[in-house]
A and B are shown apart, each in its own frame.
Chain A
């Protein structure tokens, strides 16, 4: 074999090879594009078995009108009442991997602070679509969460409509609250077990809703919910006390009983709030979870805080 012939042959082979490679590459590209198109056509509609973890997440799915796709919820998802009929996979921070898998979800929408991490890790390894929904007690947070969930469910338009509605409602509340010149100092009481006052600091749903409704948190100097010392309560002198409505909210005697505990409490009885009879009740699930009813809750709380100014 002469050198020239050998060279010719190599050139020939390499040409065949390059044609072959090009063909394969373009075919693969075609496949990828085709698969991608198929997927984007299906959109979020492929997720017909959705598991909602977190009260606000479940509420948003209902508010988007996509509740037919829900096949399970966690124990903190109790609104709307219909949600309670769904299988309960347990407490948000104590998820059991097999329990979650047993309801056979193909999409899991999970509020941040789910756990335990080992369980979540195993669940993510199954390839089931997992979407994290952040915990953020602001209007921006609610807006983001609705967008995230609507996109995961493939109903972006519905999501945009809901976001626009809530934004408009919040603008209205904000406009009205801004007219109030003198903001009230408020104390949010989470619980009063055994005459100990557990109040809200910052970074909580309670702090968030007070800010939206135009109240100043009387205890803005610590984070989370803490037991308050009696003297600190007197010193803070809140003008308003906000508590959660009890489950059987319509029972007047129940209200009186709760009021009695507050009025007769040694420290609370000395606050301007009690002296002027300013005790406000809010619906915990509506006001504190920052779901789609947050604007409604803010409006109600603002109305209760400033009945005269806002009329």
Chain B
């Protein structure tokens, strides 16, 4: 006991000493380690808690022993078909939003950049709205083909198409201008919003409510099919994201410097944009608009472990997952047996918390 205590103190001393020298990688490793444990705990908590008193342990035990007698069908469905897909989907969506946010802030050298900056959110919103409103009308044949997954599919396609347009507009002679992309993104956002507005005008009462709820986001509709549809897109991107760390670190010094440091700037930008568009598009498609995770998580971690993307990206993935699980736990418990849209929770908790950090450490975010 006392020896581990000493060890721990020794480690902490070492961490503090290196942090004082300006090298925060020891702190970063420690934070990542703690976050990994926290994510595991949050995941288990998410599996174990909900409106019904189904026991995740009992179901797991029944699965291991193959003896179903101790659990009911409802318990089995609650744990395996309701909570489990919800937990894993929450983790990868949270991770995807946070990592994408960090990448975009690095690439655009703009602390306000969020994953939506490449036009994904606006396009996804338009795609989703068109099927919510026209799914039983003009678009009925396509809707019939995709069944209940027409809205997620349309959202994904909508997001990708907008990003592609935005990329084409801001690329000239093989060079992509991030400044043009920011401005063109605003213009394209206004245009898609106008189309969405038109759909809102056509929508009937029920569709209006659906549109509203879609914008607030939810992981309540999580199914295994949705998870398997987006995991092959999101997981590789999150796992391979740290490979972009060196490039992103170089880009913070400016594109010219990055070029001199040996980064193929144009290729790098293209890869980063495609990665963010695909993973955010997939995340938004299955959960709707969940705001704020992409901004608050990366900034929080920059304050904690510094701006080095080698540590920032994995830490973002972990904390993003934790934050979404945490928000979802509140969303499903606070008004049980009813449920709040998760976007409401992430914003009501995330925003004041973020403000508090800003007030405490004013000036630190000037990039």
Contact = CB atoms under 8 A, between A and B. Distances in A.
Nearest to A99: B337
B68 interface: no
B148 A102 contact: no
Interface string A108-149: 000001011111011001111000000000000000000000
A87 interface: yes
Nearest to A120: B148
A96 B78 CA distance: 11
Contacts of A96: 51, 220, 332, 337-339
B128 to A, nearest CB: 12
B338 A98 contact: no
Given A97-B82, A99-B51, A122 B77 contact: yes
B339 A224 contact: no
B204 A98 contact: no
A292 interface: no
Interface residues of A, number: 33
A98 B223 contact: no
B346 to A, nearest CB: 17
B338 A122 contact: no
A93 B209 contact: yes
A102 B51 contact: yes
A97 B220 CA distance: 8
Contacts of B206: 93, 113
Contact of B51 (A94, A101, A121, A224): A101
Interface residues of B, number: 31
A118 B148 contact: yes
A70 to B, nearest CB: 14
B335 interface: yes
A284 interface: no
Given A99-B338, A101-B51, A125 B213 contact: no
Contacts of B332: 96, 98-99
Contacts of B306: none
Nearest to B79: A98
B287 to A, nearest CB: 12
A101 B204 contact: no
Interface string B249-271: 00000000000000000000000
30 contacts: A87-B337, A89-B338, A90-B339, A91-B209, A93-B209, A96-B220, A96-B339, A97-B78, A97-B82, A97-B220, A98-B83, A98-B332, A99-B51, A99-B332, A101-B51, A116-B148, A116-B220, A116-B221, A118-B222, A119-B220, A121-B148, A122-B81, A122-B223, A125-B77, A126-B73, A126-B74, A128-B74, A224-B204, A225-B204, A225-B205
Interface of B: 50-53, 73-74, 77-78, 81-83, 148, 204-206, 209-210, 213, 218, 220-223, 226, 332, 335-339, 341
- For the complex of A and B, 4 pairs with smallest distance between CB atoms: A90-B338, A102-B51, A99-B337, A96-B339
